[in-house]
Structure formats: structure tokens, C-alpha cells
Structure 1
């Protein structure tokens, strides 16, 4: 797998969410210098190589973050809760897993074999480039051919 392509495809998939407020979720496949909130981005990842012989399969655990501004702490948390829901128009899980493709198709437009949004963690205040946000981490398991 080429992680740049994987991260870009995940950010594209995440951008399909429809927020419960008059705003658009901005998304990047990399950790940005600054964010235009609300913002989703792909952060650090770990790779377990050679899960099958001859570079047949790698497993990646990708940590993504979503950050929401603090104009109103209650409304910000309601938006974040909608983004972290398991389903619904604002669900990042639903939007990202839609990029799996149909049964038998590669995920993320061919960038991976499969993916699964495993969990949400770290629901808390985040500081990014000196600004405070409410946010959380989304952990995605991705499998694909070793390169």
C-alpha cells in the first residue's frame, strides 16, 4: 500500500459527511499546519508488515483526528457527537466505510484491500498550533498488499 494514496482517499471519503449545522467539514490526508474548523485529518499510523508471505499483506492502524471549534462549547460537542456516531448523515464511520466498495472490490479506489473504522478514543480538548478545539481520534484498520 502507498500510504499517501490511502490517506488521501480516506480524507476524500470523510468529506462526504453532512453536518447538522451550516458548515462544511474540511478534510486533509495529512496533519495540517493549521485547521479550518471543523476539520478531519489523517495523522500518525503504524504498519505491521508481512502478514502474509512474500509481502502479500500489510496491516495499518491509522489514527485520524476531528477537531471542532469552540464558539459555543455545547453546540461544538453536539457537532462532534454527530461526527462520531456509528451512522447518520454526519457519521465519519459511515462515510469512510462507504469507500470500501462493493463486495469483491478493492477499498479506497484501489489503494487498499479493505478497511474498518474500529473505534473512537480521546474525546477531549486538543491544542493545535496554539488554538483550542474539542475533538477525538478515530482509529481505522486498513489492510492491503505489501509494496
Structure 2
């Protein structure tokens, strides 16, 4: 799998979620909220006899802490299973249709979301949540 291409395409999908102002394929030094980005990657090689690899990627969304109630309410909208503000739906798309990230992988599935909690970026603190995305593909 081309990890740079996979993370770039994940960021493009995150940018399409209603309410997210900016999305990055990397962990940024500063954010403008609501901000999404791809976080830790775990690559498990040779998960099938055909040589398919399993990539687990984190996708984090940060919102403002200026108003704790409003920020956490916005996170809950992003945590929904479906709809225009759903990160899960924004990444997976329509149920039953494989999401291949434009051919960068065979398929993917958003398996969980956890949060909300405080995250620090630089010297600033934000409320955030993180989605786990399991991606199946083969070596380039």
C-alpha cells in the first residue's frame, strides 16, 4: 500500500464531512477548528496467504474548548453513524459499496470512535475524538 496516497485520500474524505473546516494527511503543528487529521498508523504485513496487508489508521477531529458544552455537542454530531456530519459515513460512503480510496486499497471499514477528551496541539488544548479505520490492501 502506498501509505502517503492512503493518508492523503483519507484526509480528502475527512474534508468532505459537513462542519470540518480543514483536514490533513499528517499530524499538524497547529489547527484551526474543527480540524481533522490522520494520526497513528499501524501496518500488519501478510495478513492473508495472498499477501494482503492490514493498515489501521487513526482519524482525529478536534473542536474548540472555548465553550465546553457546544464543543462536545459538535463532536457528538461527528460521532453519528450516518448523515452529512458523520465522520464514519464521510469515510466509508454508502453501505455495501467498497471504499477503495480511488484504488489505493481493496476496502476499508471504520470500526470505532472513542472520545471525547482533551488533546493538546502545541500549547493549545481542544476537545476531540478519534476514529479507527481498518484498511486492507496489498504492497505496491
Tell me the number of residue pairs that the alignment of Structure 1 and Structure 2 aligns.
140
Q: Distance in 2 between matches of 1:80 and 1:97?
A: 18
The residue correspondences of 1:47-126 to structure 2 (distance < 5 A) are 47-53=43-49, 56-98=51-93, 102=97, 107-126=100-119
Task: Check whether the contact 1:101–1:107 (CA below 8 A) recurs between aligned residues.
Answer: no
RMSD value over aligned CA atoms? 1.9
Determine the structure 2 residue equivalent to 1:36: 32
Instruction: Could you tell me which runs of 5 or more consecutive residues in structure 2 were left unpaired when the two chains were aligned.
Output: none
Give the structure-2-normalised TM-score: 0.92
Task: Check whether the contact 1:100–1:108 (CA below 8 A) recurs between aligned residues.
Answer: no
Give the structure-1-normalised TM-score: 0.88
Task: Check whether the contact 1:10–1:96 (CA below 8 A) recurs between aligned residues.
Answer: yes
Determine the structure 2 residue equivalent to 1:11: 11
Q: Distance in 1 between matches of 2:117 and 2:105?
A: 30
| Structure 1 runs of 4+ with >3 Å offset | 99-103
Determine the structure 2 residue equivalent to 1:132: 125
By how many angstroms is 1:35 displaced? 0.7
Instruction: Could you tell me which runs of 5 or more consecutive residues in structure 1 were left unpaired when the two chains were aligned.
Output: none
Q: Distance in 2 between matches of 1:116 and 1:131?
A: 31
Q: Distance in 2 between matches of 1:99 and 1:141?
A: 17
